[in-house]
Amino acid sequence: MQTSPRNTSIFDFHGKPPLVKALPISLQHVLAMVAGVITPPIIIAGVVGATPAEKLLLIQIAVLASGGCTLFHLYGVWKFGARLPAIFGVGFAYVPTLIAVGGQFGIEGILGAQLVGGITMMVVGYFIQYIRHLFPPVVAGTVVLVIGLSLYDIAIRYMAGSGNVEAPGFGAPLNWAVGLVTLLTVLVASQFGRGVVKLSAIMVGILVGYLLSLALGMVSFDSVVEAEWVAVPEVMPFEMEFHAAAIVSMVVICVINSVQTIGDLSATTVGGMNRELKTKELTGGLLGNGLTTAASAFFGALPTSTFSQNVGIVAMTKVISRYVLAIAGLFMILAGLSPKFGAIMTTIPYPVLGGATIIVFGMITMTGIQLLIKDELSARNMTIVGLALALSLGIAQVPAAIEQFPAMLRNLIGGAPIVVAAITAFVLNIVLPRTSLADEAREREEIARADAEAAGRAEGHPHAGKVGAAGREGAGVGGAAGGARGG
């Protein structure tokens, strides 16, 4: 009996390519996400006054949870899991809210509110099949577009030397040189490379940038020497506390993050698979993300979300093999179980990460535009997109403008343009009357007809009716031509 050949395509979700081909692409997913995974626990550890041991624990469990969450979504369990080529993990989107909650209620308050927030996500996921029509491409595309645009400052900060503008040496020419060499390498590999080199362009760029950083003495291995070889996570390393104010803030940001998940998963299917997101995949993604967020609270891991930079890699390379992304998830699990292994990944200098990921963030932006043009660019839709962009990015650039708002509202929208964009696009899409390009063409035709009739009456000419009739005929022809051009 002849057996069918093994599917080894990296461009097929069920493809299982040779390890030597899959490994470089997997590693670039790991390197693209690792800084984003470890930064939130580092920030929150400082806010809640964690001890050095607690800080290392928060970092370790964040890395471990990100790997486990990714595998969970790739393969799924029952109705849970997106079953799409997407990377999930502890993300930036929650940080402003976590800072506000942690500053007032500590890590215990964060984890208690996170448990409720995760359950809320699952409720949203269950009902999304009934309300998905409220998130058409004009809403999802706006969210993805703002995600891409709001990530640019992170890439620039990294290229300048740090995520913190007050860090020593920030903006030094040497940092920019390393970042630009990394970026140039990614561009050359992606545009002129062939085979694995082309598909692993980000990995190639990071490798070249890392070697250059080593030669320039920019890499420190102190954290690797101090890290343990093996550390097993424990259940409930921190207590949970439930405070109404903390829960409300977390529930709101979890609902908003559900909109980001819709945008990221839509960008994954549109950018990487050239098709629309299926309702079953969306439901599984939201249910799974809610479950992992709630479960993570019992181990001390912060809330999980989709990783937009990895969505950009999928859109850029078109590599959608589940096997490739599963290897990345396994690497994260190993890093979480072995702090020393994870510490090695954290030795990559910021300029290298910035130079490698800025092109990825650009791809996210373009995927958002790709989603938007799936709908008609009518005046209504352009109003929704334009106003969402103006408000979200405007407030993000002038945070002092909302300093007199209530603390809860300020913390919710102040540091996350995605929140403002999602709310604005969602509300406008419901409130504004639905008009198509054809409707707008008919409206212009009616205005032209009315103007022609008014002009005929104003002349007071005995043939005014004929003039009006001629005007109506001309307006009808012009309106029809305009409608054809608009279509």
Kindly tell me if the per-residue pLDDT of 367 is higher than 50. yes
Average confidence (pLDDT) over 110-132: 91
Percent over 70 (pLDDT), the chain: 91
Strand partners, 80: 77
pLDDT value of position 474: 46
Structure confidence at residue 12 as a pLDDT band (50, 70, 90): very high
- CA dist., res. 38 & res. 327, Å (int): 19
Confidence of residue 86 (pLDDT cuts 50, 70, 90): very high
Using pLDDT thresholds of 50, 70 and 90, give the confidence band for residue 96. Answer: low
Q: Name the more confident of 122 and 457.
A: 122
Does 394 score more than 50 pLDDT? yes
Average pLDDT over residues 383-391: 93
Average pLDDT of the chain to the nearest whole number: 83
Range picked from 28-37, 106-115, 335-344 for highest mean pLDDT: 106-115
pTM of the model as a whole: 0.70
Residue 91, pLDDT above cutoff 80: no
**Exposed/middle/buried for 78, CB within 10 Å: 0-12, 13-18, 19+?**
exposed
Output the pLDDT for position 480. Answer: 42
Q: pLDDT tens, 459-485?
A: 765 554 444 444 444 444 444 444 444
Three-state SS across the chain?
A: CCCCCCCCCCCCCCCCCCHHHHHHHHHHHHHHHHHHHHHHHHHHHHHHCCCHHHHHHHHHHHHHHHHHHHHHHHHCECCECCCCCCCEEECHHHHHHHHHHHHHHHHHHHHHHHHHHHHHHHHHHHHHHHHHHHCCHHHHHHHHHHHHHHHHHHHHHHHHCCCCCCCCCCCCHHHHHHHHHHHHHHHHHHHHCCCHHHHCHHHHHHHHHHHHHHHCCCCCCHHHHHCCCCCCCCCCCCCCCCCHHHHHHHHHHHHHHHHHHHHHHHHHHHHHHCCCCCHHHHHHHHHHHHHHHHHHCCCCCCCEEECHHHHHHHHHHCCCCHHHHHHHHHHHHHHHHCHHHHHHHCCCCHHHHHHHHHHHHHHHHHHHHHHHCCCCCCHHHHHHHHHHHHHHHHHHHCHHHHCCCCHHHHHHHCCCHHHHHHHHHHHHHHHCCCCCHHHHHHHHHHHHHHHHHHHHHHHCCCCHHHHHHHHHHHHHHHHHHHHHHHC
Does 248 have pLDDT greater than 60?
Answer: yes
Task: Say what angle helices 417-431 and 137-160 make with each other, to 10 degrees.
Answer: 170
Judge contact between 256 and 422, C-beta under 8 A: yes
Please give the Cα distance from 405 to 395 (Å, whole number). 12
- Tell me how far apart the alpha carbons of residues 463 and 486 are, in angstroms, rounded to a whole number: 34
Per-residue confidence (pLDDT) for residue 227, from 0 to 100: 76
Give yes or no for a contact between 227 and 342, defined as CB atoms under 8 angstroms apart.
Answer: yes
User: What digits encode the pLDDT tens for the residues 187-203?
Assistant: 998 888 887 777 778 87
pLDDT of residue 209 exceeding 60: yes
